[in-house]
Amino acid sequence: MKRLAIYCGSATPADPRYMELAREVGVTLAERGIGVVYGGGRLGLMGAVAKGALDAGGEVIGVIPDALANSEVANHDCTELHLVGGMHERKQKFTDLSDGFVTIPGGVGTMDELWEAVSWAQLGYHIKPVGLLNAFGFYDHLIAFNRHMAEVGFVRPAHQGIILAADTLSALLQEMESYAPHTPIFRMKAADL
């Protein structure tokens, strides 16, 4: 994996563990020679990931919609900063530029990015690993809900392994490196659906 899209919040939570986690993600990826593709902002966890990676000598590619760039939240310190027309274009660019996706703590926008990466993998728009860093148990309920969707039958058996979750970045990266793509819906027969 040469580049990973990092999905995370642009907010700065009161608990300093989240900002430190984001910075450490950036540092660790840079030290492993893995470039960061992210939302292009300088605030919150987004900014901490970028700063961590840049301070450690890593590549950081930001992808930000024009409207956000114009509101002075764009991080112009990035190795590259791509301005796009909107959120759909932004997520497509993340997919085009990265070899996989890592979601760290975040809010609604982060969930949108995660679920789109999962949905696109399920359908077959990409075959890249989708990782979920469950630091501090932040995603325990989301992991349980995903398991519940599978138990009820809304996630097919072939797609139950799309989300790779781990409590540490090193364990998550190891899982992602050994990820074997599943059979996407586009390649299934009607009887399998």
pLDDT band, residue 29 (cuts 50/70/90): very high
pLDDT tens-digit profile of 79-118? 999 999 999 999 999 999 999 999 999 999 999 999 999 9
Continuous H helices in the chain: 16-31, 44-55, 66-69, 87-97, 108-123, 140-152, 169-177
Residue 187 clears pLDDT 90, i.e. is over it? no
More confident residue, 2 or 182: 2
Domains of the chain: 3-177 (3.40.50.450)
Across the range 55-63, mean pLDDT stands at 98
Task: For residue 31, give every residue at least 6 positions away whose Cβ sits within 8 Å of its Cβ, in sequence order, or none.
Answer: 56, 58
Contact of 34 with 128, CB cutoff 8 Å? no
Q: Which two tokens stand for residue 149?
A: 């969707």
Across the range 179-190, mean pLDDT stands at 88
Task: For residue 37, give every residue at least 6 positions away whose Cβ sits within 8 Å of its Cβ, in sequence order, or none.
Answer: 3, 4, 5, 6, 61, 63, 93, 94, 97, 98
Residue 193 clears pLDDT 80, i.e. is over it? no
Task: For residue 184, give every residue at least 6 positions away whose Cβ sits within 8 Å of its Cβ, in sequence order, or none.
Answer: 121, 122, 123, 124, 127
pLDDT band, residue 152 (cuts 50/70/90): very high
